[in-house]
């Protein structure tokens, strides 16, 4: 049985990180973009992270440039933008593809576990996946779903 903790992802500095480092924590995995209409969600995501991090919650952000080229070419520019404009200090990772032949294995797994309403694949930036403490995908949220609307589900996932 595969769980999210079985995957390895690339950090911003190019090093690999095992998601098993987050074992026992609830996660919200989000494909992000710095120049998207949904980018202001970073503010709510950061607030959620600050509120629940000490209870065993992590947000994992994965910049993606597959939707109208809404991400900076340089990952350092992405990181500076997120920190300067939204105070983001939750873990952010290297830019990934979330759909298509070159989709990151983690995102292939996520969409196989929770299909979207109209499509199996990810249709836009800021699609969110809630992971419980056992590493299982328990919910998927559309890009337009405000992080604040996820809070009740998050509280359940933290139990």
Residue 36 catalytic?
yes
Handedness of CA 47, 116, 21, 66 (dihedral sign): negative
**Could you give the 3-state DSSP secondary structure of residue 145?**
coil
User: Do the Cβ atoms of 147 and 61 come closer than 8 Å?
Assistant: no
Per DSSP (E only), the strands in the chain are 8-10, 16-18, 26-32, 57-63, 128-131, 137-141
Query: Which of 36, 48, 82, 110 is labelled catalytic?
Result: 36
CA distance linking residue 71 with residue 150, whole number of Å: 24
Candidates 25, 36, 35, 32; CA nearest to 46 is: 32
| Catalytic residue numbers, as ranges | 36
């Amino acid at each position: 049985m595969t769980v999210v903790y079985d995957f390895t992802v690339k950090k911003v500095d190019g090093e690999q990180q095992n998601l098993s480092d987050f074992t026992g924590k609830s996660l919200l995995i989000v494909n992000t973009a710095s120049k998207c209409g949904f980018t202001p969600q970073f503010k709510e995501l950061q607030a959620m992270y600050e509120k629940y991090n000490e209870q065993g919650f992590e947000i994992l952000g994965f910049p993606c440039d597959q939707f109208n080229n809404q991400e900076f070419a340089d990952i350092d520019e992405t990181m500076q933008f997120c920190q300067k404009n939204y105070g983001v200090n939750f873990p952010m990772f290297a830019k990934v593809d979330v759909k298509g032949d070159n989709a990151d294995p983690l995102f292939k797994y996520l969409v196989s576990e929770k299909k979207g309403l109209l499509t199996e694949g990810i249709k836009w930036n800021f699609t969110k996946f809630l992971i419980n403490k056992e590493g299982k995908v328990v919910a998927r949220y559309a890009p337009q779903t405000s992080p604040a609307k996820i809070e009740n589900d998050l509280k359940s996932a933290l139990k």
